[in-house]
Amino acid sequence: MERVDVSILGRDYSLACSVAEKESLLAAVKYVDQLMLRVKGSGKVTGNERIAVMAAIQIAAELLSTKAPDGPFSNVALGDFKRRIEDMNTLLDQALVGAGSGK
């Protein structure tokens, strides 16, 4: 593991990561810092904790709306795909409970 010192919204953090992950970690830190600075710059949100939460929500929304690049699921957003899998798991759980009770 390698120690990486970074700054997010003017605060310094020491993180640990493998050498192979360092480049992607630094890119993620840069993205989070830029987004938090943008949220802070809007003037609508104050306090570092609230700024961090708003940035996290925006990042989560971006992730969930990301679509698979190619293949059979290229038109399905990841959030929709995850919900479909959860729905299938629920149906399977219900079927297994029903099978176990002799129905």
- Determine the Cα–Cα distance for residues 10 and 34; give it in Å rounded to an integer: 11
Q: pTM (2 decimals)? A: 0.65
Q: Which distant-in-sequence residues (6+ apart) come within 8 Å of 55 by Cβ?
A: 32, 35, 36, 39
pLDDT of residue 23: 93
Q: Where are the alpha helices (DSSP H) in 1-103?
A: 22-41, 48-65, 78-100
The candidate with the shortest Cα–Cα distance to 29, out of 11, 42, 44, is 11
Strand partners, 13: 6
Tokens encoding 76? 């399905």
Identify the pLDDT of residue 94: 81
Please report which confidence band the pLDDT of residue 63 belongs to, taking 50, 70 and 90 as the band edges: confident
Q: What integer pLDDT is reported at residue 86 of this predicted model?
A: 80
Percent residues over pLDDT 90 in the chain = 54
